[in-house]
């Protein structure tokens, strides 16, 4: 049967081109690899080769024609035994691509008076559960130990995690209990060991990769994003990286610009990653256990200053907290304060002081930044009509700015004031004690913002 020769696409972006020159005439025989024509694109002149054997039955597009669309038939090739009379029959059905089925659209952002979204308000643990006081540091260690006992494929690797017991002592005792096969000291090679962790996850293990701090994970960010976050998608769901990247995030104290950065907004941006940033010890524990069991790469952002703080932790055999479920620390009616991680400290302090002034603040701890429990935020704002976000990171492209956009699109009619984002200052972290204090977010700034949105 006669075959049509189509105008080729000669680059990924080519949509049309000029058929500059035919190097064959009607009646010529060609075999695969013969150059048949020269085609000009906006970038170059390319030679166009025959793929099949046959005789040029008819040239449909004459030399010199400009703007020939890709996939337009430009000639007809006859196989042995065919002649020109076979052409009409085959040329008839135009090579018209069926219109692509409309891709399922991303859920459209609805503005205007939404229904109250459904949020999970179930308690994290049954009422009456016994509690014990633990530091965030101990809670994280216990979570890892419990999961390592439960699943022998879980292992911990990082700098100083084993013999030194962790640079910040989070892995204290783990080497003793689990041995050097599962608690592994690495050289200072973040990009390398993060990649080895991702590979091990592809290979069926469940690595916990500790970064001494998240500042050093910038050495490894390519493996976190390009390898860990994207592989499930790129492989059509065949393989992914079930693993946890963890370590202290954000400013410690007086350690300067290269050691004091909050990465919540950075990792929040990446589809394929889950991002957790707990404040309390109970959340640290329940979320760490969930993170280790999750089949996706999880960035678990801890905080050095919080490590030593004690909180009540439910004394249960297996306490987990689902991702994407915020916690309301304090109910209120006048304003919604949304925060996470160490930002909660300022939000809670501000709420306390505001109460003295007769302003009732509802305080929401996001706990997971991605997936984010926007339903809980929206439900709260539908009640309070005002929102202030609190975080330590920089303002441009902050977690708060994302929350503002969600509220604009989904709860616009409920807002009585613009949302204010309280953030760290838009500067690298200075070392000097007085400057550092000013660079960080303060409780007073949160109070000031609340007064602004409540017009007091």
Partner 1 sequence: MAARKATTKSNVSAEELKGYYRDMLLIRRFEEKAGQLYGMGLIGGFCHLYIGQEAVVVGLEAAAEEGDKRVTSYRDHGHMLACGMDPNGVMAELTGREGGYSKGKGGSMHMFSKEKHFYGGHGIVAAQVPLGAGLAFADKYKDNGRVTFTYFGDGAANQGQVYEAYNMAELWDLPVIFVIENNQYAMGTSTKRSTKSPSYWERGAAYGIPGEEVDGMDVLAVKAAGQKAVAHCRAGKGPYILEIKTYRYRGHSMSDPAKYRTREEVQKMRDERDPIEAVRSMLLTGKHASEDDLKAIDKEIKQIVNASAEFAKESPEPALDELWTDIYADDAAPQNA
Choose the one of partner 1, ligand TPP, none that binds residue 412, judging by a C-beta under 5 to 8 angstroms depending on kind. Answer: none
The DSSP output letter for 414 is G
438 vs 440: CA distance, rounded Å:
5
Known catalytic residue: 438? no
Count CA atoms closer than 13 A to 351's CA, side-chain side: 28
For 93, 305, 442, the CA distances from 423, given in Å and listed in that order, are 62, 18, 9
Span near ligand TPP by CB under 6 A; candidates 18-26, 73-81, 211-219, 318-326: 211-219
Tell me how far, at minimum, the Cβ of 215 lies from ligand TPP, in Å: 7
Q: Residue written as tokens 């419990």?
A: 146
275 vs 227: CA distance, rounded Å:
16
Sheet holding 183-185: strands in order across?
Answer: 183-185, 154-158, 206-210, 243-248, 297-302, 274-276, 368-370
Residues in Cβ contact with 93 at an 8 Å cutoff, skipping those fewer than 6 apart = none
Choose the one of ligand TPP, partner 1, none that binds residue 253, judging by a C-beta under 5 to 8 angstroms depending on kind. Answer: partner 1
Of 26 and 185, nearer to ligand TPP (C-beta) is 185
- Interface with ligand TPP (CB under 6 A), residue from 4, 190, 283, 365: 190
373 vs 322: CA distance, rounded Å:
11
Of 191 and 451, nearer to partner 1 (C-beta) is 191
Of 201 and 212, nearer to ligand TPP (C-beta) is 212
**How many degrees, rounded to 5, is the angle at CA 251 between CA 156 and CA 225?**
50
State the number of binding residues for ligand TPP (CB under 6 A).
6
Choose the one of ligand TPP, partner 1, none that binds residue 384, judging by a C-beta under 5 to 8 angstroms depending on kind. Answer: none
- Interface with ligand TPP (CB under 6 A), residue from 212, 265, 281, 399: 212
Of 41 and 452, nearer to partner 1 (C-beta) is 452
Please state the φ and ψ torsions of residue 6, each to the nearest 5 degrees. Answer: -100, 150
Taking the CA atoms of residue 258, residue 260, residue 262 and residue 267 in that order, the dihedral angle to the nearest 10 degrees is 30
> Is position 216 an interface residue for ligand TPP (rule: CB under 6 A)?
yes
Choose the one of ligand TPP, partner 1, none that binds residue 254, judging by a C-beta under 5 to 8 angstroms depending on kind. Answer: partner 1
Query: Which of the residues 138, 146, 147, 190 is marked catalytic?
Result: 190
Q: Which of 304, 278, 440, 288 is nearest to 367 (CA)?
A: 278
Choose the one of partner 1, ligand TPP, none that binds residue 439, judging by a C-beta under 5 to 8 angstroms depending on kind. Answer: partner 1
- Interface with ligand TPP (CB under 6 A), residue from 180, 188, 253, 427: 188
What sign has the CA pseudo-torsion 265, 136, 217, 428?
positive
Q: Residue written as tokens 């020159």?
A: 21
- Interface with ligand TPP (CB under 6 A), residue from 138, 147, 159, 262: 159
Tell me how far, at minimum, the Cβ of 148 lies from partner 1, in Å: 22
For binding to partner 1 (CB under 8 A), which residues are involved? 159-160, 163-164, 167, 185, 187-192, 215-216, 218-219, 252-259, 395-396, 425-428, 430-435, 438-439
Of 161 and 335, nearer to partner 1 (C-beta) is 161
Tell me how far, at minimum, the Cβ of 145 lies from ligand TPP, in Å: 24
Query: Which of the residues 160, 259, 436, 448 is marked catalytic?
Result: 259
Of 190 and 362, nearer to ligand TPP (C-beta) is 190
Count of CB atoms situated within 10 Å of the CB of 12 = 5
Of 11 and 189, nearer to ligand TPP (C-beta) is 189
Choose the one of partner 1, ligand TPP, none that binds residue 316, judging by a C-beta under 5 to 8 angstroms depending on kind. Answer: none
Secondary element (H or E) of residue 91: helix 87-91
Residue showing the smallest CB distance to ligand TPP in the complex: 216
Known catalytic residue: 190? yes
Q: Tell me whether residue 187 is exposed, middle or buried, using C-beta atoms within 10 angstroms of its C-beta: 0 to 12, 13 to 18, 19 or more.
A: exposed
Catalytic residues: 190, 259
List interacting residues with ligand TPP (CB under 6 A).
159, 188, 190, 212, 216, 219
């Amino acid at each position: 049967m006669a075959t049509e020769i189509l105008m080729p696409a000669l680059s990924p972006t080519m949509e049309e081109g000029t058929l500059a020159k035919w190097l064959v005439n009607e009646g010529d025989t060609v075999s695969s690899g013969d150059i048949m024509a020269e085609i000009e694109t906006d970038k170059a002149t390319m030679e166009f080769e025959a793929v099949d054997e046959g005789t040029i039955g008819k040239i449909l597009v004459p030399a010199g024609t400009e703007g020939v669309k890709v996939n337009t038939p430009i000639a007809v090739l006859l196989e042995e035994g065919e002649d020109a009379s076979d052409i009409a029959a085959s040329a008839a059905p135009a090579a018209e691509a069926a219109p692509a089925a409309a891709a399922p659209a991303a859920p459209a952002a609805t503005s205007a008076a939404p229904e109250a979204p459904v949020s999970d308000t179930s308690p994290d643990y049954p009422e009456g559960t016994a509690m014990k006081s633990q530091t965030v540091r101990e809670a994280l260690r216990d979570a890892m130990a419990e999961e390592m006992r439960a699943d022998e494929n879980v292992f911990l690797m990082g700098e100083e995690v084993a013999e030194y017991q962790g640079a910040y002592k989070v892995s204290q005792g783990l080497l003793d209990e689990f041995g050097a096969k599962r608690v592994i000291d690495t050289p200072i090679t973040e990009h390398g060991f993060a990649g080895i962790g991702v590979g091990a996850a592809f290979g069926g293990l469940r690595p916990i990769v500790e970064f001494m701090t998240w500042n050093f994970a910038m050495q490894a960010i390519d493996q976190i994003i390009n390898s860990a976050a994207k592989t499930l998608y790129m492989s059509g769901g065949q393989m992914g990286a079930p693993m946890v990247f963890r370590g202290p995030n954000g400013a410690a104290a007086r350690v300067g610009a290269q050691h004091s950065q909050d990465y919540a907004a950075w990792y929040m941006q990446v589809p394929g990653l889950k991002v957790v940033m707990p404040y309390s010890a109970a959340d640290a524990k329940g979320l760490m256990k969930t993170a280790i069991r999750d089949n996706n790469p999880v960035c678990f952002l801890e905080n050095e200053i919080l490590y030593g703080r004690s909180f009540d932790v439910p004394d249960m055999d297996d306490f987990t907290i689902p991702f994407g479920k915020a916690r309301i620390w304090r109910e209120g009616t006048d304003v919604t304060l949304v925060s996470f991680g160490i930002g909660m400290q300022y939000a809670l302090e501000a709420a306390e002081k505001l109460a003295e002034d007769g302003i009732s603040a509802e305080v929401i701890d996001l706990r997971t930044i991605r997936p984010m429990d926007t339903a809980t935020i929206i439900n709260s704002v539908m009640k309070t009509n005002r929102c202030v976000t609190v975080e330590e990171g920089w303002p441009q492209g902050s977690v708060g700015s994302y929350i503002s956009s969600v509220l604009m699109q989904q709860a616009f009619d409920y807002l009585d004031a613009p949302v204010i984002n309280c953030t760290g200052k838009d500067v690298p972290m200075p070392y000097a004690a007085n400057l550092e204090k000013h660079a960080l977010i303060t409780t007073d700034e949160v109070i000031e913002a609340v007064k602004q949105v409540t017009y007091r």
